[in-house]
Amino acid sequence: MARKTPISCDWKQGGAALKSRGAHKENKSALYKHKGKFRWQGIKVEKYKQSNGDWADIVRQTLIGNKRETCKFHLRYFEIAAGGCSSFERHKHEHVVICVRGKGKAIADKKSHILNFLDTLYISPDTPHQLRNPFKSPFGFLCIVNAKRDKPIILA
C-alpha cells in the first residue's frame, strides 16, 4: 500500500529558518573531549546546588548550557556517591535522565525505579521526584532539561 504523504525533510525551509534567527557571535561549535572517569575537558565539576538542603554527596557538570549556546536545552552530568541523593522536588519543566554509570534509584511521583546502564527515564512537569544511590558504586547520569526553566519547589 502506498503512503499518502511521503516521508521527507524540507532542508530549504529549515535552513531559511536558521538564517532568519541570526547567528550569535559567542555561540560556536565545540568538542568537549572525555578525559576518562566521567570528566570532560573544559568542564568544571560544580556543587549540585548553591545552597544547602536535603541532598547529599552529589556533583554536577554542565556539558551544554553554560557557554552561551543558543539551544533550547541543557545537558548535564550528575554523579551521586554511595548513599547520596538529589533533592526531593517538583517543578514545571521536564527532565530526561539517562543512566551512564553504575545504577541508581529514581522516585518519580509515587513510583520507584531502578536505573541501570542506558535506562532512560522521562520525568513529566510537576512530578515530585528524587534520584538516589543506595548502592556501593557511583551512580552517574546525563540529564536533559529546558534551557529556560523554573526554580524547583523542595518537598519534605
Model confidence pTM above 0.75: yes
Q: Rounded CA gap, 152 and 9, in Å?
A: 37
Average pLDDT rounded to a whole number, residues 83-100: 97
Residue 73 lies in a domain: yes
Residue 15 lies in a domain: no
> pLDDT of 6-34, one tens digit each?
554 444 444 444 444 455 567 889 999 99
Residue 9 lies in a domain: no
Specify the DSSP class assigned to residue 20. Answer: H
Looking up residue 123, the CATH number of its domain turns out to be: 2.60.120.10
Average pLDDT value for the chain: 88
Check whether 5 has a pLDDT greater than 70: no
> pLDDT of 60-78, one tens digit each?
999 999 998 999 999 999 9
pLDDT score at 6: 53
Whole domain around residue 109: which residue ranges? 25-154
Specify the DSSP class assigned to residue 11. Answer: H
Q: Rounded CA gap, 93 and 74, in Å?
A: 12
Task: State the total domains in the chain.
Answer: 1
Residues with a catalytic annotation lie at: 143
pLDDT score at 8: 46
